[in-house]
Amino acid sequence: MLSLFLPIFDHLLNVAQNPGPKMWRLMALRHRSPPLPWRQSLREGIVPTSLLFLAVPLLLVIAAVPLFVSRFPPLGDYPNHLARMYILAEYNKIPQFHAAYELDWAVLPNLAMDLLVPPLVGLVGIEVAGLFFIFTIFLATVTGALLINRMLYGYVSIGSLFSFCILYNGILDWGLMNFLFGMGLSLIGFGIYLIADKKGVFAKIVLSSCMSFIIFICHLYAFAVYGILILCYELVNFHQNSLVRNCYKNVRTLVSRLIVSGVQAILPLGLLVFFSPTGSKDIASSIEFGSMKRKLDGLLYLFGNYNAGIDLICYVSIAVLLGLLFGRGRITMAKPMLIAVGCLCAIYLVVPDRIFSSFMADRRLIVAIALVAVSAVRVSTNSWRELAAVGAVLLWVFALQVAIAERSWAAYNTRLANYLTAFDRMDEGSNMALALDPDLSWFPISFRGVASLVVLRRHAFSPNIFASRGQQPIKLTEKYQRMTDAVPQSDLYSALLAISEAQNREQLDTLMASALAPFEYLLVIHQTEIAPKLARLGLQPIAEGPDFDLYHLR
């Protein structure tokens, strides 16, 4: 993978060596002076290309260490996503899937994983395919950050390597995979846009249109961030040029450039408005605003939050370094990117928590803001001591984040093994009802989605599968949709808890004869020991763990 990636990235970097005459004259984005000697450039915070090709693969391998200790990483929605990938890949081979699911392909701006992972399942299996996709998120994110940095300044600043420090972030913990992959592509797309800007109108339209469509299909929010980056670039470029040129001519130039740049948005926006279920009135109007407290909590999503103490150390380390560098005037940022960061921060304050039917729309922007800022920052060290300080903080924070993720994922595996063993006792192609404790933890380690793994293990059905109409390329059949609607997970848990506390066998029999009638199994996941004890009512579990009980209903 890396052997294919490095020559391509090397070509993209070499393109930046010959800036065209229309590049930003007043922003000092490139130094036309001869390249500095290797040691001197490194001393000044410039990462030589040869060192870059050694450091980046090594850091990517280190970042992937947690992937080697977990078959199913504890990333919120990840089990649900993985189950959907398996259904898409094996739908024509497994008859049990036909009764519960229907393929429902449409123009959905949320398809990154759905398009990339299923073709890999037949080659490497569902588990490896899922892990590979997580690694591609890391790869795309780092590539985009380095490419933008090189295009802005003509070299890669050591500051852009801090993109490694935020690979394990709160949005990854929630399992919002398509957004993160799309965000990485949006950075790459903007870097390619900067390259295409020097290659003529035709090349610019073709390259940017291809990237725009790909980013849109991966995720709608990433497409929006990509558009903001381009808009800020064009407007700041116009403002700078208007200071030294005739304003009227500059307005005409701005209009023509915006038209050329806007061509790439015609197809994605047309598809969204006229052909995508996501753009329908019902979905587009599903808007909910969160509290300001939740927006403040979102500021913590820069890191994985597996350990508050570790995260505090990371925040303090970076804050101290930033204070030192700012105080010495060692940090600069290209104006278009500075404006883009400010724009994204303003949007974060006003954007709803839920828009286009997906939650956490605002908190995702925290990671987007951080990635854009890291991609655009230039750290100019003036001595080996300053370089050592920057490098030490970079490696320190990166190592802490990877280490705490590896430890947390390994601990998760121990608990997860109990669930997998229990699922293996179920009959092939059976149906399992799910009762979730309303107080069950959501973040950063969550077992709310673990029931979806029965799809992989036993080709069984669980009502928490992600199959919402107009959001995923699969949907439930009418029969299974009715079954799912009849057993809301938290409501079922509360009902079972009340039945258990009242020792009401008759009420349990009534529930089993109605809502639970189509199900052969019942999985109860609880947060504390105060949980439904259905064995007291004659319902014997076939498997149990510290936080769950699996019952056979028939």
Task: Give the model confidence (pLDDT) of 303-332 as tens digits.
Answer: 988 999 999 999 999 999 999 999 999 999
**Residue 443 tokens, joined:** 């973040």
Whole-number Å distance between alpha carbons of 205 and 188: 16
Higher pLDDT, 532 or 287: 532
Domain closes at, from 331, 359, 380? 380
Question: Do 424 and 364 lie in a common domain?
Answer: no
Residue 230 CB burial class (10 angstroms; 0-12, 13-18, ≥19): buried
> Would you say residue 1 has pLDDT above 50?
no
Q: Three-class SS of residue 540? A: coil
116/214 Cα distance (integer angstroms): 12
Same domain, 121 and 22: yes
Give the pLDDT mean for 386-413: 95
Q: Are residues 167 and 289 in the same domain?
A: yes
Q: How far apart are CA 121 and CA 466, in angstroms?
A: 19
Indicate whether 78 belongs to any domain: no
Give the whole-angstrom CA distance, residue 287 versus residue 232: 26
Please give the residue that has the higher pLDDT: either 368 or 238: 368
Residues linked to residue 78 through DSSP beta bridges, in sequence order: none
**Crossing angle of the two packed helices 177-196 and 2-15, in degrees rounded to 10:** 40
Q: Which residues span the domain enclosing 320?
A: 2-68+106-380
* Count of domains observed in the chain: 2
For the ranges 221-230, 273-282, 384-393, 480-489, which has the lowest average pLDDT?
A: 273-282
pLDDT for position 118: 97
> How much is the average pLDDT of 58-64?
97
Q: What pLDDT band is residue 29 in, cutting at 50, 70 and 90?
A: very low
Report CA dihedral (53, 55, 58, 63) to the nearest 10 degrees. -120
Phi, psi of 541, deg, nearest 5:
-75, 145
Q: Is the pLDDT of residue 79 over 60?
A: yes
Task: Assess whether 174 and 317 both reside in one domain.
Answer: yes
Residue 398 lies in a domain: no
| Residue 532 resides in a domain | yes
Residue 119 is assigned to a structural domain of this protein: yes
Q: Taking 60 as the threshold, does the pLDDT of residue 39 lie above it?
A: yes
Q: Do residue 330 and residue 460 come from a single domain?
A: no
Q: Which range, of 204-208, 223-227, 284-288, averages the lowest pLDDT? A: 284-288
The whole-number pLDDT of residue 305 equals 86
Task: Using the 3D structure, point to which of 380, 399, 422 is the last residue of a domain.
Answer: 380
Q: What is the pLDDT of the chain when averaged over all its residues?
A: 88
Q: What tokens appear for 283 in the block? A: 């979905």
Rounded Cα distance, 452 and 269, in Å: 33
Q: Using one digit for the tens of pLDDT, what is the confidence trace for 214-235?
A: 999 999 999 999 999 999 999 8
Stretch 92-118: mean pLDDT: 95
> Over 70: is that where the pLDDT of 296 sits?
yes
Q: Which amino acid is at 419?
A: Y
Q: What mean pLDDT do residues 392-407 have?
A: 96
Residues 175 and 111 in one domain: yes
116 and 218 share one domain: yes
Question: 495-530: per-residue pLDDT in tens?
Answer: 999 999 999 999 999 999 999 999 999 999 998 878
Minimal CA–CA distance to 177: which of 227, 213, 141, 149? 141
CA distance 227 to 266: 12
**Which of 63-72, 158-167, 450-459, 461-470 has the weakest average pLDDT?**
461-470
The answer to whether residue 88 sits within a structural domain is: no
Same domain assignment for residues 322 and 444: no
What does R_g of the chain's alpha carbons equal in angstroms?
26
Q: What is the mean pLDDT of residues 414-422?
A: 94
End-to-end CA distance of the chain: 49
Say whether both 354 and 449 belong to one domain: no
93 inside domain? no
- pLDDT value of position 11: 45
pLDDT at 169 over 70: yes
Residue of 129 and 23 predicted with greater confidence:
129
Residue 200 domain-assigned (yes or no): yes
The whole-number pLDDT of residue 289 equals 84
Sequence-distant (6+) residues with CB within 8 A of 18 are: 198
Residue 311 belongs to a domain: yes
Residue 27: predicted pLDDT: 37
Whether 149 and 275 map to the same domain: the answer is yes
Residues 438 and 305 both lie in one domain: no
55 plus 180 within the same structural domain: yes
Cβ atoms < 10 Å from Cβ of 28: 10
Q: How confident is the model at residue 8 (pLDDT cuts 50, 70, 90)?
A: very low
Picking from 320, 355, 380, the residue at the C-terminal end of a domain is: 380
For the chain, what's the residue count? 554
At 290 the pLDDT is 77
Assign 103 to helix, strand or coil.
strand
- pLDDT for 550 equals 96
